């Protein structure tokens, strides 16, 4: 349960892409394989509680039966396989998203597939052209994040590459955005509000959830105070 809890926590938060989700999930599945193998051979290296129990039973020569544990882990592994089948199909695309310069189109072909890709021929040509773009090569080495890199890819120069990247980026790695939306909505739609239209809710949600920091000083300077009606005494 500790390993499952660690996985859950690592998948929370914002700015998590689908490749982050894939890396965490697939590595956890590999860990499950390791745990199953260890339990089948009564090796408790990764199970501190079972290791302590085994140590306390040395004198009595009683062996711990791990069949139930193995069965539960096998069920968990199967559940992960079924639940993340679509994610596994996208795995070849993760390398492209993280660094398109490492895609070897000539020797290994295009790693992307439908529905991410719409025109394979044009995409392969663009990838070959991108490989010789020295400016972007230098930029990706010093880029703070994957998202920042893809923002600088011109959709006019590399339309197919850009569209494929946007599709992959739009696949949320976590439910952070949805959770934030509902939490914020709950605060806004409180019982103390006498009137709240759909337009109000939309505007308030957009303001509350945006990552853009408004320049309040600049905005207030633009306000024409002469047009603001004054209260009559």
CA gap 100, 137 in Å, rounded: 10
Sorted by sequence, the CB contacts under 8 Å of residue 223 that are 6+ apart come out as: none
Residue 62 DSSP label: P
Nearest to 96 by CA among 154, 157, 156, 163: 163
- Among 2-11, 95-104, 195-204, 224-233, whose mean pLDDT is lowest? 224-233
Model confidence pLDDT, tens digit, residues 31-79: 999 999 999 998 888 888 888 887 887 777 777 888 999 999 999 999 9
Nearest to 204 by CA among 223, 218, 190, 184: 184
CA gap 159, 102 in Å, rounded: 19
Residue spans of the domains in the chain: they are: 14-89, 92-169
CA gap 94, 192 in Å, rounded: 47
User: Do 48 and 3 meet the contact criterion of CB atoms below 8 Å apart?
Assistant: no
User: Do 73 and 32 meet the contact criterion of CB atoms below 8 Å apart?
Assistant: yes
CA gap 58, 122 in Å, rounded: 67
Cα–Cα distances in angstroms (integers) from residue 200 to residues 50, 190, 196, in the given order = 56, 13, 6
Model confidence pLDDT, tens digit, residues 125-178: 999 999 999 999 999 989 888 999 999 999 999 999 999 999 999 887 667 777
Cα–Cα distances in angstroms (integers) from residue 228 to residues 52, 223, 224, 225, in the given order = 75, 9, 7, 5
pLDDT given at position 149: 94
pLDDT-derived band at 197 (thresholds 50, 70, 90) equals confident
pLDDT given at position 225: 62
pLDDT given at position 156: 95
Sorted by sequence, the CB contacts under 8 Å of residue 131 that are 6+ apart come out as: 101
The overall average pLDDT reported for the chain is: 86
Does residue 228 register a pLDDT over 60? no
Q: What is the mean pLDDT of residues 109-113?
A: 89
pLDDT given at position 162: 96
């Amino acid at each position: 349960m500790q390993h499952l809890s660690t996985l859950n926590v690592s998948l929370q938060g914002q700015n998590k892409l689908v490749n982050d989700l894939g890396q965490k999930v697939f590595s956890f599945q590999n860990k499950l394989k390791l745990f199953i193998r260890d339990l089948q051979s009564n090796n408790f290296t990764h199970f501190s509680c079972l290791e302590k129990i085994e140590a306390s039973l040395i004198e009595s020569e009683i062996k711990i039966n791990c069949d139930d544990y193995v069965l539960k882990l096998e069920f968990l592994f199967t559940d992960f396989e079924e639940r993340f089948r679509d994610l596994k199909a996208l795995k070849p695309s993760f390398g492209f998203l993280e660094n398109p310069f490492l895609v070897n189109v000539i020797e290994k072909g295009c790693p992307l597939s439908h529905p991410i890709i719409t025109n394979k021929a044009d995409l392969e040509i663009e990838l070959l052209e991108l490989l010789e773009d020295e400016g972007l090569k230098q930029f990706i080495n010093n880029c703070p994040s994957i998202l920042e890199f893809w923002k600088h890819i011109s959709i006019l120069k590399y339309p197919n590459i850009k569209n494929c990247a946007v599709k992959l980026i739009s696949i949320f790695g976590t439910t952070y955005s949805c959770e934030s939306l509902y939490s914020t909505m709950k605060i806004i739609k409180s019982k103390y509000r006498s009137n709240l239209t759909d337009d109000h809710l939309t505007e308030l949600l957009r303001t509350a959830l945006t990552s853009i920091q408004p320049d309040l000083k600049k905005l207030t300077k633009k306000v024409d105070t002469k047009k603001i009606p004054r209260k009559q005494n």
